[in-house]
Chains A and B, each alone.
Chain A
Amino acid sequence: MKEKHNWGWPIASYLFLGGLGGGMIVVAGLADLAFGEGELFSLGNLIAGIAIAIGSALLIFELGRPFQFWRVLSRQKAIMTAGAWMLSLTIVTSFAYFSFWPDFSPWHQLIGLRHLVAGINIVLGVGVCIYTGILLGSLRARVFWNTPLLPVLFLVSGISTGVAAQSLLAGSWPCHVAAGELGALHAALRSCDLALLVFELILVFVYVGMMRFSAGPVTARIAAQWLTGPKRWLFWGGLVGLGLALPTILYVLSPAAGGETAALLVLIGGVVLRFLVVYSDERIPLPGESEYYSRLPGPDAPFLKAWE
C-alpha cells in the first residue's frame, strides 16, 4: 500500500490559483509600467487577488487545525512561512493596485504611487509563481519534485496562465477602452503566450525526459506513468494536448477566432499540470515497506469496531 497522498486537490488547486494570480498581476504591472496600458488589465488584479485568496483559503482548509492557521505567519525560516507572508501581502497589494483604477477611487490620480504598487506586484507575482516550485523542490524525499526545473516550470506556467486569463478579461470595467480597440493588444498577448507555451512545452519534455532516463528507479517509474502508464491520458491529453499543443496551434492558425478558446485551454493545462505534479509524490521505498503496509487493515476492518 503506497503512502496516501498527504497533499491532495486543495493543494493542487491552490498551486494553480496562486500561479494564476501571480501571473495576472505580473502582466498587469508590466503593462502599466512598460507600456502604460495598465487600465486594460485592471479588473484582472481584483480577480487575481480573489484567486489567491481562494487558494489560501484552500490551504487553510487542508490544515489539520485550520483555526491555528495564523501560526504560519511566524518568524520561522521555512519556505512555507515566507510563502505565507508573501501570499498575504500579495492579496493586499493586488486589491490595492486594483483600487487605483475605478473612477471613483480616492487615489485614482496618484499615478506615482500606483506605479510603485505595480512594481511591487511584479516582484510579488513572480515570487508567488516561483515559490511553490521552490517549496516542492525542497522536499527531497519526494523524488519527482527534486529538480530546479520545477520552479522554472511553475513560473512559466504561472505567467502563461496569467497572460491567458488577462487576455480573456482585457478591457473589462473599470477599463474604458472599447472592445474593437483591443485587436492589436490581443495579438501582442497571443504572441507572448505563444512564446511562453513553446517554452513550457520544451520545459515539460526536458523535465519528464530527465526523470524518465534518470538513475533513480522511482523517478523513472513515475515519468513512465506519465508517458505510457496510467497517467498518460492526463499527460498527453490534458497537459500536452489540450493545455499546450492545441492552444499553440490555435494561436498560430486562427489568432482572432481561436484566441479565447486557446486561453481557456491554457488555463485547463495549468490545472492539469499542478494535479499531475502534486499526485506524483512518491518516495524511494524502504526495504520491505510496500508488502508491510499492503497487509495492514483498512479503517473498515470489522475487528476495529467490534468491541467499542
Chain B
Amino acid sequence: MSSKEDLKREASAVRKSCCFFCHQNCGVLAYVKDGKVLAIEGDPEHPVSRGGLCTRGNIALQHLNHPARINVPLKRVGARGSGQWERVSWDQALDEIAARLVSLKEEYGAETVATAGGTQRANDWARRRFMNLFGSPNGFHNAHLCWIPTFMIETAIYGWCPFEIDLANSRLIVLWGHNPGASGMPEMRGIFDLKQNGLKVIVIDPRYTESASKADLWLPLRPGSDVALALAWLNVIIWEGLYDQTFIENCCIGFEELAEHVRQYTPEWAAPLTWLDPELIRKGARMYAANKPGNIQWGVSIDQSGRSAGAGIHARALLRAVTGNLDAPGSDLLCGPSPDFITDEEMEANEWLPEEQKAKQIGSDRYKLTTWPGYGRIAAITKEVWGKAPTAEWMCEAHPPSVFRAILTEKPYPVKALIVLATNPINSYGRTDLVLEALRKVDFLVTMEYWMTPTAMLSDYIFPAASPLERPTITTTYGCSDTLIASERAIQPMFERRTDYELWRGLGLRMGQEEMWPWENLEEANYYRIYPLGYDDVGSYDEFVEKHRFHFPEREYYKYGRVGFATPSRRIELVSSTLRELGYPAMPTYAAPVENEIDDPDLARKFPLVLTSGSGFMPFHHSEHFQIKELRFLKHEPYVDINPETAKDLGISMGDWVWIETRRGRIKQKANLTQAVHPKVVVTQRGWWYPEREAAEPELGGCTESNTNVLTDVSDEACDPLGGSWANRGLLCRVYRVEQSEADGR
C-alpha cells in the first residue's frame, strides 16, 4: 500500500496548489506528470494549513476526475429543464451569448443583465470588471448572508473591518455564531494550540456544537436574538464600568450618547428575549471585558438573521470599541487594505460604471449600506485615509431577492438575463420557490459549473469550470486583507474546462472591451497584481508561488495613530454619522427576530418551534460534494436536530423522516434527537439535494425535498433594512412525522 509514495516518485514536478473548497484554502502539493495529477497531499510549508487536509481537501482527485463533471460547453436543446443538451465550442457559445447580451442591452439597457455568485470561489474582480464595462450594476453573491454586512457596518464605524485576529497574543476569543470545529479546520487548530496557553473561549450558539464542546463558556441563546445579547453586553460593560476609558477618550466619539442609549438594554431585559439567565449574560460580558486583549470572531449567524441583522452586527461591533480591543496586540486588527499589492478593487474598473447606471442597482433604493449609496460614501473615505477601497464585488451588490422578483414582475425594470457562476442558487439562496420561479422564467440563463446542479439543469448554456487544481488562486479575504497567499495551477485544465477569467474576458473581447483585458490568462493578471511587491527574483506568477508563496507584511499595531480611523470624524464613531446619513439608526436599536412568539403569538401557536439553519457541517460545503461517494458515505441523508423531549411529545423517534414546515413551505429530513438544542429549537441541515436523481424537470435532483431554503424568508419586511440580509435564523416552524401528515391529508 505504498502506491502513493511510488506515484509521488513518478511525478515530474510538484506544484504548490490549494484546496479551494472553503475559505481556509489549505495548501495542496500536487504531484504532476504529462498534464495529469498523480497524487496530492497537504503542504507542510503552507502558513495556514501546515500540511493538514480536511475531508474535502482529501478528495481533490475524486473531484478532479469525477465522471459526472461537466467537461465541455453545453447548449440547451428542447424545453428548459428537459435535460437535453448539445455540445458546442467555447467560441460558438461565447459568440452567441455576447450577441444576445448586446441585443438585450440595446433593448432594455445593460442593467437587464445580472450575475449571481456564491461564496468567494472565483476571480470575482473579473466578473465585476466585465459588468462595469458592460454597464450593469446588478452583480450579486450570497454576500448578504456572509460577512459583507458585517464588513460594511464595521468599516462605517471604525474605518475597516478588523477581521485579522491577533490570536497569539490574545487572552480570550468569542466565537459568535461561528463553529470553526465544523468549518474552519486550521482556525480550530490555532484555537486549540492557544487554549493550552490559557486562551479562554466563549461560544455563542443555540446549538452545542463541536466548538461549544471545547469552550469555557457556552451561551445557548434563542436563534435570532443575538442583537439583544450584544446590547445587553454593551449595557453591562458600560454600566459596570468595564470599558476602556483611555481608548474611548483618545479614539472614540459619542460615548455618552451610546451609554444613555444602552441603559435600557439590561440583562434582565434581554433574558426573556435570549432565553438566557441574566447572570449568564453578565458572566459572558464580564469575561470578555476582563480578559483583555480579546477577540470577537465574526460568524455568519447574525448576518443571516434578517430584519435584526444590521442592529446585531452594529451592537457586536461596538463591543470591541468600548473595550479598546481594536488594533492592539492580541485584539482584532484594523489591518486595512494592502498598500503593497494590487487589490481586487483596483482590478474591478469601478470608475467605468456610469453614475446613472449605479443609480439603477436593484435594491439600492431600499438597502443602502451594501449598495452604491453606502458603498460609495464609505469607499470614498477609505480611499482618502487608507488610499484604497473595499472590494466592490461583494461590498456593493444588487439585492438578490429583489433581482429575482424583478425577473418575475419586471419591477423596477425587466431583468432578462442571469449569468450564474460558482453558485447553485436553488439550494443556496433564500426562498427556493422564488428562485425556482425566476430561473424558470428568466429569458436567458447562463451557468458555469463543475456539476449538473439543479440550477445548471435549467440553463440555456453551461460552461465547464476548471477545478481547484486547474487554476491559480490568490487568497486575500475577499480582497480586503493586507496579506496574500498565492497558489499555482497544478495542471492546465483538462477537457475543455476553463477558469471564470476566460469566461468574462471571452465575453469582454467580443463586446469591445479588448483594451481592458490585456492579460491573456490568470497567471499574467496575477503577476500584474503581485508585481508591486518588488521581488527582483520573480519573473512570473508561478515563480512567485515557488519562491515566496505569500506576503505577510510586518504587523503594525495602533495604525490609527499614523493613519486615523477611516470615518468622517476620523475617530471611532460610537454614534455613526455614516449610518445616520444613509437614513439608519446611528446606534443599534433592538429589533426582534423576523418571526417570534412575543410579537406574533398566533403564528407561534401554529408554528411553535424556533428554526435555525444555514450552519456548516462536515464533510459538505453549502450544496457541494453530495456526489463524491467517499464523502456522501459518511452522511448520506439529511438530519434535523431536535430535542428528545420535544420529539417524544410529537411522537418522533430517532431516525424518523419528519416534515419541517414554515409559512413558506415544508421539507423533510431525518430526526436527530439530541440534547444539543433547547426543547423549542430545531436545526435543519443546509444545502441538501440529491445528484443521483434525475437531472431534469420535474425532479431537478430532488432540490426541494430537503432543502432548508424552502423555509426561509426573503420578503422586504423580513430583510435587514441596512444591508438586505434575509432570514435563515430564528424563524418559527412546526415539525411532524412524515406518515402522520399523509394520514391527516395535510
- Indicate whether A and B are direct neighbours in the complex (CB within 8 Å): yes
Residues of B with C-beta under 8 A to A302: 690, 692-693
Is A215 interfacial (CB-CB < 8 Å)? no
A302 to B68, CA, bound (A): 15
A295 part of interface (Cβ distance < 8 Å)? yes
How far apart sit A96 and B634, CA to CA, in the bound complex (Å)?
56
| Interface residues in A291-308 (C-beta closer than 8 Å to B) | 294-297, 301-304, 306-307
| Minimum CB distance partner of A298 in chain B | B636
Q: For chain A residues 36-85, which have a beta carbon within 8 Å of chain B?
A: none
> Nearest-CB distance from A302 to chain B (Å)?
5
Complex: how many Å from CA A296 to CA B655? 12
For B67, what are the chain A residues with a Cβ–Cβ distance below 8 Å?
307
CB distance from A179 to the nearest CB of B (A): 62
Nearest B residue (CB) for A302 = B692
Q: Which residues of B contact A296 (CB under 8 A)?
A: 633-634, 636
Could you tell me the distance in whole angstroms from the C-beta of B642 to the nearest C-beta in chain A?
15
Candidates A294, A297, A304, A307; contact of B68 at CB < 8 Å:
A307
**Contact call B635/A306, Cβ cutoff below 8 A:** no
Tell whether, in the assembled complex, residue A303 and residue B691 are in contact, meaning their CB atoms are under 8 Å apart. Answer: yes
Chain A residues with CB below 8 A from B692, complex form: 302-303, 306-307
User: In residues 265-299 of chain A, which contact B (Cβ within 8 Å)?
Assistant: 294-297
Interface contact B691-A306, CB-CB below 8 Å: yes
Least Cβ–Cβ distance between B638 and chain A, in angstroms: 11
A303 engages B636 (CB within 8 Å): yes
The yes or no answer to B632 lying at the interface (CB within 8 A) is: yes
Per the bound structure, the CA–CA distance linking A50 and B437 in Å amounts to 73
Interface size band for A: 10 to 19
Please give, as numbers and ranges, the residues of chain A lying within 8 Å of B635 by CB-CB distance. 295
| Smallest beta-carbon distance A294→chain B, Å | 7
Q: Known A294-B655, A302-B692; judge A307-B636 contact (CB<8 A).
A: no
Q: Are A303 and B66 in contact (CB under 8 A)?
A: no
B627 within 8 Å of A by Cβ?
Answer: yes
- Binary A-proximity of B467-486 (CB < 8 A = 1, otherwise 0): 00000000000000000000
Contacts of B66 in A (CB 8 A): 307
A294 to B66, CA, bound (A): 28
Report the bound CA distance from A306 to B636 in whole Å. Answer: 13
Assess whether B655 is in contact with A303, with CB atoms less than 8 Å apart: no
In the complex, the chain B residue whose C-beta lies closest to that of A292 is B634
Q: Which residues of chain A are within 8 angstroms of B691 by Cβ–Cβ distance?
A: 303, 306
Residues of A within 8 A of B633 (CB): 296-297, 304
Is the beta-carbon distance between A307 and B627 smaller than 8 angstroms? yes
Q: Does B629 contact A (CB under 8 A)?
A: yes
- The verdict on B637 contacting chain A, using a C-beta distance below 8 Å, is yes
**Interface 0/1 of B86-121, CB less than 8 Å to A:** 000000000000000000000000000000000000
Contact of B627 among A294, A295, A297, A303 (CB under 8 A): A303
- Report B-chain residues with C-beta under 8 Å of the C-beta of A301: 636
Interface SS majority for chain A: loop
Complexed CA–CA distance, A296 and B68 (Å): 23
Contact indicator per residue, chain B 612-645, by CB within 8 Å of chain A (1) or not (0): 0000000000000011010011111101000000
Expressed in whole angstroms, the Cα–Cα distance for A204 and B632 within the complex equals 46
* Known A-B contacts A303-B627, A303-B629, A303-B692; A295 and B68 likewise in contact (beta carbons under 8 Å): no
* B639 partner residues in chain A, CB cutoff 8 A: 295
Residues of B within 8 A of A304 (CB): 629, 633
For B629, what are the chain A residues with a Cβ–Cβ distance below 8 Å?
303-304, 307
- Closest-CB distance, A292 to chain B (whole angstroms): 9
- State A226–B15 Cα separation when bound (angstroms): 62
Closest B residue, CB atoms, query A291: B654
- In the complex formed, the residue of B with least CB distance to A305 is B692
B632 x A303 contact (CB < 8 A): yes
Q: Which residues of B contact A295 (CB under 8 A)?
A: 635-637, 639, 655
Q: Chain B residues with Cβ under 8 A from A303's Cβ?
A: 626-627, 629, 632, 636, 690-692
Chain A hits for B68, CB < 8 A: 306-307
Q: Which residues of B sit under 8 angstroms from A297, Cβ to Cβ?
A: 632-633, 636-637
Residues of A within 8 A of B637 (CB): 295, 297
Question: Which residue of chain A is the closest to B69 with respect to CB atoms?
Answer: A307
A303 to B635, CA, bound (A): 12
What CA separation (Å) do A297 and B634 show in the bound complex?
8
The CA of A304 and the CA of B632, in the complex, are separated in Å by 9
Residue numbers in A under 8 Å from B634 (CB-CB): 296
Q: What are the residues of chain B within 8 A of A294 when measuring CB–CB?
A: 655
Interface residues of B in 635-665 (CB under 8 A from A): 635-637, 639, 655
Q: How far is the CB of A22 from chain B (nearest CB, A)?
A: 43
State in angstroms the CA–CA spacing of A303 and B631 once bound together.
Answer: 11
Closest to A306 in B: B692
Interface residues of B in 581-637 (CB under 8 A from A): 626-627, 629, 632-637
- Closest residue of chain A to B626, judged by CB? A303
Nearest CB of A to B743, in Å: 26
- The residue among B626, B637, B639, B692 with the most chain A CB atoms within 10 A of its own CB is B692
| Bound form: Cα–Cα A303–B692 in Å | 5
Inter-chain CA distance A284–B24, complex, in Å, is: 40
Q: Which residue on chain B has the smallest CB distance to residue A303?
A: B692
User: How many angstroms between the C-alpha atoms of A306 and B627 in the bound complex?
Assistant: 9
B670 to chain A, nearest CB (A): 9
* B632 contact set on A, CB distance < 8 A: 297, 303
CA distance A81 to B629 in the complex (A): 40
- Residues of B contacting A306 with CB < 8 Å? 68, 627, 691-692
CA distance A307 to B690 in the complex (A): 13
A307 vs B633: C-alpha distance when bound (angstroms): 14
A232–B148 Cα gap in the complex (Å)?
64
> A306 CA to B632 CA in the complex, in Å?
12
Q: How far is the CA of A154 from the CA of B636 in the complex (A)?
A: 44
As a 0/1 sequence over residues 36 to 70 of chain B, the CB contacts with chain A under 8 angstroms (1 = contact) are: 00000000000000000000000000000011100
In the complex the two chains form, what is the Cα distance from A78 to B637 in whole Å?
A: 43
Q: Which residues of A contact B693 (CB under 8 A)?
A: 302
Q: How many Å from the CB of B270 to the closest CB on chain A? A: 36
Q: How far is the CB of B577 from chain A (nearest CB, A)?
A: 54
Q: Looking at the assembled complex, report how far the CB atom of A115 sits from the nearest CB atom of chain B, in whole angstroms.
A: 57
Within 8 A of A (CB), among B668-722: 690-693
A184 to chain B, nearest CB (A): 63
In the assembled complex, the CB of A111 is this many whole angstroms from the nearest CB of chain B, namely 61
Docked Cα-Cα span, A35 to B166, in Å, equals 94
Closest residue of B by beta carbon distance from A308:
B67
A302 to B629, alpha carbons, bound, how many Å?
11
Task: Please report the C-alpha to C-alpha distance between residue A59 and residue B722 in the assembled complex, in whole angstroms.
Answer: 74
A301 smallest CB distance to B (angstroms): 6
Complex Cα distance, B655 from A294, in Å, reads 9
Please give the distance in Å from B371's CB to the nearest CB on chain A.
Answer: 41
Rounded to whole angstroms, the CA-CA distance of A257 and B170 in the bound complex is 91
Q: How far is the CA of A297 from the CA of B691 in the complex (A)?
A: 16
Minimum C-beta distance from A307 to chain B (A): 5
Which A residues are CB-close (under 8 A) to B626? 303
Chain B's nearest CB lies how many Å from the CB of A299?
11
Interface residues of B in 553-573 (CB under 8 A from A): none
Complex Cα gap A301–B626 (Å): 13
Q: Which residue of A lies closest to B66 (CB)?
A: A307
Determine the distance from Cα of A296 to Cα of B66 in the docked complex, in whole angstroms: 22
Complex: chain B residue closest to A296, CB-CB: B633
Q: Please report which residues of chain B, range 12-54, place their CB below 8 angstroms from some CB of chain A when the two chains form the complex.
A: none
A297 to B690, CA, bound (A): 14
Contact indicator per residue, chain A 227-244, by CB within 8 Å of chain B (1) or not (0): 000000000000000000
* B632 to chain A: closest residue by CB: A303
Chain A residues closer than 8 Å to B690, beta-carbon distance:
302-303
Closest A residue to B634 using CB positions = A296
Which 9 pairs from chain A and chain B are nearest by CB? Answer: A306-B692, A303-B692, A297-B636, A302-B692, A307-B67, A307-B68, A303-B632, A301-B636, A297-B633
Identify 14 new A-B residue pairs, CB closer than 8 A, beyond the known A303-B626, A303-B632, A306-B691: A294-B655, A295-B636, A295-B639, A295-B655, A296-B633, A296-B634, A297-B636, A301-B636, A302-B692, A303-B692, A306-B68, A306-B627, A307-B67, A307-B68
9 contacts between A and B (CB under 8 A): A295-B635, A295-B655, A297-B637, A302-B690, A303-B692, A306-B68, A306-B627, A307-B627, A307-B629
